[in-house]
Structure 1
Amino acid sequence: MTDVRILGTGAYLPERVVSNDEVAAPAGVDDAWIIGKTEIRARRWAAADEATSDLATAAGRAALEAAGITAAQLSVIVVATSTPDRPQPPTAAYVQGSLGAIDAAAFDVNAVCSGEVFALSAAEGVLARRGGHALVIGADLYSRILNPTDRRTVVLFGDGAGAMVLGPASHGPRIRDLSLHTFGEFSGLIEVPGGGSRLPLDEQALAAGQQYFTMDGRGVRRFVADHVPQLIKQFLHEAGVAPDDIRHFIPHQANGVMLDSLFEELALPNATMHRTLQEYANTGAASIPITLDSARRMGTLQPGELVLLAAFGGGMAAGVALVEW
């Protein structure tokens, strides 16, 4: 009996390593401040000639290789990103062309840092109707939209991409359940004000810095504390899974201090929380697939173990997925 499974994972991180010292000086902070507030020690930033689609394509190739299939076998490519190459066309179209996935429909999903879980749900829906294989990529390139003097944001983010291939198989990791949530009343907590139809980027908007990513850090922390633990607990209850059954917890790599508090609140006594933020920082929609790929390559995920993915970010949005490895 076949089912849709995760056939392979992959990731791509740019070569350039950016230390805390490099981002600290323009923001008026230092290495100790960044570590104390975030537990981040470094991040990767893309080269000048790299765009989001380049990162996504590289991660997609790695996932296809791990899955043992070709791009020609793909039915759909879904790219989760909030930092597209251009407002139009979708970044996924560039990825499809670069990979040569001639039979794949390709589109983007923007749920900011929750994007990978939303994209997994979308890809599952396409496969249920169309069959075949899906390439689901989370990719973000935040270094281009960060204000170097804003300590609330510039110290937090890195660039990267992570990918999963979904397809029919009789064994292997499968997504047992998914849950998606959006809280539009909090949409102002995280945003890039300019560049859309509401505020085009004219000279006045650029002079005001409207092209930069902005975040109400305290508001985001309150949102996560007030909503995310309860959402996850309710998700597990409805899935019929006890907290003791979870062996691996892979959250969005937002902030190390925040993740420590979240993990404590969830009380998953037998779970290992996987983290990549120390070396890669917050890579947006890429953070969960990058961290999942890292755990897979290290061999820490064993067949039959339950892996809990938990994403949260701008929108505000949250996505939770349960994977039986």
Structure 2
Amino acid sequence: MSAVLEGAVPRTTAVRPALPIAVAGTGIHLPDRVITNEQLTRTLDTTDEWIVDRTGIRERRRLAADLAVSDMAAAAARSALTDAALAATDLDAIIVASYTSDQPLPSTALIVKEQIGAQHALPLDITQAACANGLQAILVAAHLLQVSARAVLVVAADCASRVTDPRDRTTGVFFGDAAGAVVLTRTESPGAGLLAWDFGSQLSYDVEIRAGGSRLPTTELTVADRDHYLRMDGRAVWATATSQLPHSIRTAAEGAGLPVTEIDHFFLHQANLNILTAAMTELGVPMERAPITLDLLGNTGSAGVFTALHHASIRGRIRAGDTYLMSAIGAGFQWGTLCFRHPTADPGELG
């Protein structure tokens, strides 16, 4: 769906009024442990040159064995709340976007709620769009803010190191662990807010974790067959990402009434530098408008877009009235783009 409709078929939409919400604060959390390409070459049949050429990644982070996704999420959440000058008790909802939740039950969002003391918040989890989870969570938050909520925390946190096969070069070199968070509030800044969005999907099993659900429950055989690890067809990911991301970005820009070349910032899924370069080239937009964090963090799943947004925000690169896009694609395949205009005044309106 978009401010349009869901699907791989091209769609168009009329310009609509902005949803008056804004990013009031951002935060990230990165695990301490750094894994370089050289370290990976000791156990995988690969080289530093191959990894950099194929992915643009030089190093990535790994979460400590005694910690879980909720620990990263809570740390990023506290950082975002500080940036927004809000308390956890101000939150009306917490949405955690992760395909690597602490455990099947209970809710990871509920665990984060308890860790940060957000006693009034409704906990929600978005789980199965993988790297697109975070953008779906922001769209849900935007609609909650139109109904009753005044402040919503969205946390995108993934710990892919727990679901990647250490023997598999295809997945082993790509992924890193990280969490990113945004606090969304209502805004009264004229013309600011969520201008448009586009989401689409096309069922594919080219990225999957086969076992552990109702179709293939956990057994000794599924463990022995390594069916609980992430499997990925890199060629299928490349083909889908390089076609659907530019299309989704153009559709969202059109819905916002903006030429795509006039968008100020592009916060894209930090999956693979070659995919990002191909998408920006297809759009005819200079690469300097798309911040890169994957070189030092790897593919951090849905957290990647949030890390790019956070780094631009803390460096003061997002100015009053700027427009920016957030775009990602995840397993399924599912993809989406959000188009924002940054407020010209304080975005937080909790009165």
For 1:76, the equivalent position in structure 2 comes to 93
Instruction: Give yes or no for the alignment of 1:45 onto 2:62.
Output: yes
Q: Which residue identity lines up with residue 152 of structure 1 in the other structure?
A: T
User: In 2, are the aligned partners of 1:246 and 1:270 still within 8 Å (CA)?
Assistant: no
| RMSD of aligned alpha carbons | 1.6
The answer to whether the 8 A contact 2:196-2:255 is kept is no
Which of 219, 222, 229 is 1:212 aligned to? 229
2: CA distance, partners of 1:279 / 1:228: 23
Counterpart for residue 13 of structure 1: 30
User: How does 1:107-186 map onto structure 2 within 5 Å?
Assistant: 107-110=124-127, 111-171=129-189, 174-184=193-203, 186=204
Unaligned runs of 5+ in 1: none
Q: Aligned in 2, Cα 1:117/1:266: closer, same or farther, shift over 3 Å?
A: same
Name the CA distance, whole Å, in 2 between partners of 1:159 and 1:269.
Answer: 28
* Distance (Å, rounded) in 1 between the aligned partners of 2:313 and 2:243: 31
Contact 1:52 1:84 in 2 (8 A): yes
Alignment of 1:203-282 (within 5 A): 203-269=220-286, 272-282=289-299
Amino acid at match of 2:248: L
Contact 1:43 1:280 in 2 (8 A): yes
Contact 1:141 1:159 (8 Å CA) reproduced: yes
Aligned partners of 1:205, 1:123: CA distance in 2, in Å? 37
The equivalences for 1:22-61 within 5 A come to 22-61=39-78
> More deviation in 199-208 or 122-131?
122-131
Distance in 2 (CA, whole Å) between partners of 1:226 and 1:274 is 20
Aligned to 2:12: none
Q: 2:249–2:325: 8 Å Cα contact kept in structure 1? A: no
Cα drift, residue 235 of structure 1 = 2.3
Q: Distance in 2 between matches of 1:227 and 1:247?
A: 21
SS at match of 1:157: coil
The letter for the 1-side match of 2:161 is: S
C-alpha distance in 2 between matches for 1:269 and 1:261: 11
Q: After superposition, what is the alpha-carbon deviation per residue over 1:101-157, rounded to whole angstroms, capped at 9, x for unaligned?
A: 111000111221011110001111222222221000100000011111211111000
- In structure 2, distance between residues paired with 1:132 and 1:239: 24
Give the unaligned 5+ runs of structure 2.
1-18, 343-351
Mapped to 2, the partners of 1:226 and 1:166 lie a distance apart of 30
Rounded to whole Å, the distance in 1 between the matches of 2:85 and 2:126 is 25
Contact 1:17–1:43 (Cα < 8 Å) also in 2:
yes
Check the 8 A contact 1:5/1:171 in 2, yes or no: no
Q: How far apart, in 1, do the equivalents of 2:186 and 2:255 lie?
A: 26
Asked whether the 8 Å contact 2:187–2:193 carries over to 1, the reply is no
Q: Residues 179 and 319 of structure 1 are in contact (CA less than 8 Å); yes or no, is this contact kept in structure 2?
A: yes
Q: 2:113 aligns with which of 83, 87, 96?
A: 96
Residues 117, 320 of structure 1: 8 Å contact kept: yes
Secondary structure at 1:284 match in 2: coil
Q: CA deviation at 1:324?
A: 1.2
SS at match of 2:170: coil
TM-score normalised over the length of structure 1: 0.95
Distance across 1 between alignment mates of 2:224 and 2:134: 33
Matched letter for residue 6 of structure 1: V
**Equivalent pairs, count:** 322
Give the aligned residue type for 1:135.
L
SS at match of 2:321: coil
Query: Residues 7-44 of structure 1: CA distance to partner in whole angstroms, max 9, x if unpaired?
Result: 10000000001111122332210111111110100000
Q: Deviations over 1:166-204 (max 9, x none)?
A: 1123349732222221212x2x01111111111122111
CA distance in 1, matches of 2:79, 2:248: 32
SS at match of 2:147: helix
Q: Larger % of helix: which?
A: 1
Q: Distance in 1 between matches of 2:210 and 2:43?
A: 22
